[in-house]
Structure 1
């Protein structure tokens, strides 16, 4: 067997060429591992009745179980007799000890989110502004809408119905979620005033769920009687069956989107941690 000996200069050249590919690959592998340890995800699609397709669950533990539908979902899409293809993606953190958070959990019956949910949602949206998706949206909108990407704007929001964040997301609901002890903020995807291109049908939501004093040992690192919070991000998108699959339906783009959602959850938790 023969070996080819490369000159030092050639070795350096190859290293310089390979580095932009290897370094992102290593970082992506590390990010994937890190997020997989701290979050769990599931996704699925509901097709119209009579379709050749059925509810398809490609990832996650709860096979063929679609979570409770968002309050903001249009009635024509929500109905089980709907002719819309409905896809969801749900990413949830592992339970986080309440004592490790800077804000306590206080339930609210009003439409103003609790300080914990507001700060978590704000932290996630501030982090989103640095993503390629947000940078692209920002280039397509007018000067006034660009303000909604600014950190000061996001951190000052109450996240009440009508509030707009990151250009394309408008708060449509805040209040109790589908689970006991849960609270959520739902935001519809909508076109900024100056944008004239196609707009996907969809919404995103952030949610916190309180787990009160579960038995000791039932959650990692838990002491007897500890309360925990689960932080959740969901994306819901819908389309006609004749239209192209949405971003979260594709295996590759769906996986990348779940990875980003997990990263945003971690950023949101960091914003409310001690």
Structure 2
């Protein structure tokens, strides 16, 4: 049984969508979107039986921790939305270039470095500042937004990061082939939070693709029929989420591939 989840509630989402274009110039958003479209592969989908919509490819590996009542395409009455962003294939020898050769195929170490970079980058976004403010009075949760805290995380099951994400699975998961590494984080509201709840799981990790590897970032959100639409169902909100997710992936990729170039 997963914990209770949270994403930005509709009122705070409206604030975020208003703040983000002010905090990051529209030209930069458009530039980032263009870079993402060239360097990353993005896919989104929606399953809504009431509207007879089913655009989630059946071969997409589902999160290991997706609740059974949500997972089934045949029986579930939940609306399920997903976003999947994948990097270009990379040779394993290009990873963690600042480390000794034995680390070049140590995917758990690579994933830790990758996640530390993406989660630290997120902690400085307007969304993160709003989420942190909603945890007023809970210093232990607020600490999980701090860069030193994130940089020391090993992303083991039970670890909390940026206040609202809790690691609920780490392992190979259900990705194509074998030998990958993924971390699944439930959107888990801390006890101090009193806002509306939205259910979801974020997946980050590495998958094997032939002799290369690809970095993957997925967001899965769901709701019951009649509940307010989730962020990934809306046009502008969905686009902003893709841009933010793609930007975070590029931050993570830079952290695990650029060091040897500096040393060379």
Counterpart in 2 of 1:159? Answer: 155
Residues 1:66 and 1:242: Cα distance change in structure 2 (over 3 Å): farther
Contact 2:45 2:83 in 1 (8 A): yes
Deviation at 1:210, TM superposition (A): 2.5
Partner deviation per Cα, 1:56-114 (whole Å, 9 max, x = no partner): 36xxxxxx44612101111111123011111111011111233332251236xxxxxx1
Question: Equivalent residue for 2:250?
Answer: 266
- Structure with higher helix content: 2
1:120 aligns with 2:114: yes
8 Å CA contact 2:86, 2:216 repeated in 1:
yes
Supply the distance in 2 between the matched residues of 1:261 and 1:105 (Cα, whole angstroms): 25
Higher relative CO (CA 8 A, sep ≥ 6), structure 1 or 2?
2
Q: Give 1:53 deviation, angstroms.
A: 2.1
Counting only pairs closer than 5 Å after superposition, residues 174-185 of structure 1 correspond to structure 2 as 174-177=170-173, 178-180=175-177, 181-185=179-183
1:193-223 CA distances to partner (integer Å, 9 max, x unpaired)? 211111210010102013343xxxxxxxxxx
Is the 8 Å Cα contact of residues 166 and 186 (structure 2) preserved in structure 1?
Answer: yes
CA distance in 1, matches of 2:39, 2:51: 36
8 A contact 1:44–1:66 mirrored in 2? no
- Aligned equivalents of 1:25, 1:145: Cα separation in 2: 32
Gaps in structure 2 of 5+ consecutive residues: 1-20, 97-102, 260-264
CA contact (8 A) 2:131 2:163 kept: yes
Cα contact 2:29–2:243 (8 A) shared by 1: no
In the alignment, does 2:69 pair up with 1:85? no
1:75 alignment partner, one of 68, 71, 76: 68
User: Greater Rg, structure 1 or structure 2?
Assistant: 1
Q: How many residue pairs get matched?
A: 226
Alpha carbons 1:123, 1:268 under 8 Å: kept: yes
Paired position in structure 2 for 1:38: 39
- Which of 241, 245, 250 aligns to 1:257? It is 241
1:230 Cα shift? 0.7
What does residue 55 of structure 1 align with? Answer: 54
Measure, in 2, the Cα distance between the counterparts of 1:34 and 1:52: 34
Deviation at 1:38, TM superposition (A): 1.0
Shift of 1:157: 1.2
Q: TM-score, normalised by structure 1?
A: 0.78
CA distance in 2, matches of 1:25, 1:45: 27
Structure-1 residue corresponding to 2:168? 172
CA distance in 1, matches of 2:68, 2:246: 29
Q: Give the 3 Å change call, closer, same or farther, for CA 196–66 of structure 1 in structure 2.
A: farther
For normalisation by structure 2, the TM-score amounts to 0.80
Unaligned runs of 5+ in 1: 1-19, 58-63, 108-113, 214-227
For 1:100-132, what per-residue CA distance to the aligned partner results, in whole angstroms no more than 9, with x for missing partners?
Answer: 32251236xxxxxx1011111111101111111
1:47 touches 1:53 (CA, 8 Å); kept in 2? Answer: yes
